[in-house]
Amino acid sequence: NAGVTQTPKFQVLKTGQSMTLQCAQDMNHNSMYWYRQDPGMGLRLIYYSASEGTTDKGEVPNGYNVSRLNKREFSLRLESAAPSQTSVYFCASSGTGTGAEEKLFFGSGTQLSVL
Amino acid sequence: AQSVTQLDSQVPVFEEAPVELRCNYSSSVSVYLFWYVQYPNQGLQLLLKYLSGSTLVKGINGFEAEFNKSQTSFHLRKPSVHISDTAEYFCAVIGNTDKLIFGTGTRLQVFP
């Protein structure tokens, strides 16, 4: 009954450090997503993966890389963190289909601060 | 490409009053529309969705929304709000891709 699990919940980095946000879902979903949420900006799509082995850029991909390790896991990597990447990050997954039954399941979020 | 506009960043309202949160979208293709709610320190939960059929959609917690194609709107309404409805509400759209695009959110603050 876990749904979408994100780790860590909180992280503080110094400018230039790297880190990977982990995400796993146990619902056998094909599609997975990484969003960032900033005040007044709503949620913006960073990257998404429509299926295992494929990834595509979203609205704000610069400074990030992703890896769809398998069907369950979709990680987000910051190679050289910048203060502009201070945000709350949400992983999400959704089932199969053409979008007609789209329903995203969200993780609980990662609060990242880059000093 | 599709986009979503939520005109009100904050909506203050007293308990038991009605509320409407506005959402307009733009798209050159048919869309599917969604409202999500985010309670403090939590992820997003689906409130309701419009896929096809009846333009009046009922969701959880007494919320409903009406799809208006001519006005490209999908406003969220509740006839009587509770303190517990205090949250941020996001409108979202999917067009001809699998990408769900969100609006910037509306913070609903319910006062006693």
pLDDT in tens, B28-76: 777 888 999 999 877 788 899 888 888 999 998 999 999 998 999 999 9
C-alpha–C-alpha distance, residues A9 and A112, integer Å: 8
Query: Helix %, strand %, coil % for chain A, to 5?
Result: 5, 50, 50
Alpha helices per DSSP H over chain A: none
Q: How far is CA B71 from CA A44, B67, B75, B91, in A?
A: 25, 9, 11, 15
Question: In which band, very low, low, confident or very high, does the pLDDT at A102 lie, cut at 50, 70 and 90?
Answer: low
Distance from CA of B105 to the nearest CA of A (A): 5
Interface residues of chain B, partner chain A, Cβ below 8 Å? 6, 9, 32, 34, 36, 42-46, 49, 51, 90, 94, 97-105
**Which residues of chain B are within 8 Å of residue A43 when distances are taken between CB atoms?**
44, 90, 102, 105
N residues, chain A: 115
Q: How far is CA A7 from CA A17, A99, A107, in A?
A: 17, 27, 9
Contact: B100, A107; criterion CB under 8 Å: no
Model pLDDT, residue A100: 41
Contact: A106, B32; criterion CB under 8 Å: no
**pLDDT tens sequence across A41-93:** 888 999 999 888 899 999 899 999 999 989 999 999 999 999 999 999 999 98
